[in-house]
Amino acid sequence: MRLRSRVCAFALVISGSLPAITIGQIDTFEDGTTVGWFVPGPNPNPPANEPGGGPAGAGDAYLKLTATGINGSGGRLAVLNDAQWSGNYLMAGIGLISADVNNFGPDNLYLRLLVEDFAGAGPPVNLALTQAAFVAAGSGWQRISFSVRPADLVTLIGSASQALTSVDTLRIFHNPAPDFPGPGVGIPPVNVVLGVDNITAAVPEPGTLSLLTGGLLVALVRRLQKA
């Protein structure tokens, strides 16, 4: 049985079917970039790396997202990643994504994650949405978490489980309603500057251990990056 498991694992490796995403991965933004987080098309306020002022203090970099609150380009809050946050979430065992956030703006936020499975070119064939995390205006830095277990997601197109087995894009965006009619379509404008840091892939159980592990991983990654 052990030999068979190793053979299966080897077959997955050579076929390229292992998930890109892994438990414990963290985006700390300490490398001075947006770590692959982007907004498609022209935008007057694209995502930016802020070199200091994150949850750990003056020298802690974070991702800064800006929305102007007006109708048109740059008026809505959304950011995407189609690199390290793509893959098979179910195979990787990931059930929770956490992040440190700070709402610097005057409007309240209802943040959600959207997992998108395109299965090639064209519109998504599977689309699923997390429950909202409320972040009040002027919140200061706080930790929020999103369950990405199939039973906790709102299925918009196809199947939540299928979406999680083949995530092409992970999107963070603001919407009080559990819906995603499309980029810039029906999503309310919002006036906000949002700081995001330490985006972490984890497991949801047990809760206390998850929080402890996440904190230790963040500390370890920061130490390695500053070494």
CATH number of residue 31's parent domain: 2.60.120.260
Question: Average model confidence (pLDDT) for the chain?
Answer: 85
Nearest alpha carbon to residue 199 among 182, 221, 179: 221
The answer to whether residue 5 is domain-embedded is no
| 189-220 burial: b if 16+ Cβ within 10 Å, else e | bbebbbbbbbbbbbbbeeeeebeeebeebbee
Write down how long the chain is. 227
- The verdict on residue 1 lying in a domain is no
- Is 187 within the bounds of a domain? yes
User: Are the C-beta atoms of 198 and 1 separated by less than 8 Å?
Assistant: no
- Specify if 179 maps to a domain: yes
Average pLDDT over residues 69-86: 94
Does this model's pTM top 0.85? Answer: no
Domain-located, residue 12: no
- Count of domains forming the chain: 1
Domain that holds residue 33: 19-226
Burial class (CB in 10 A: 0-12, 13-18, 19+), 173: buried
Determine, yes or no, domain membership for 7: no
Residue 171 — pLDDT band, cuts 50, 70, 90? very high
Tell me, yes or no, whether 125 lies in a domain: yes
Going by pLDDT thresholds of 50, 70 and 90, the confidence category of residue 214 is very low
Mean pLDDT of 70-81: 93
Prior bond of 206 cis (ω within 30°): yes
Is 80 contained in some domain? yes
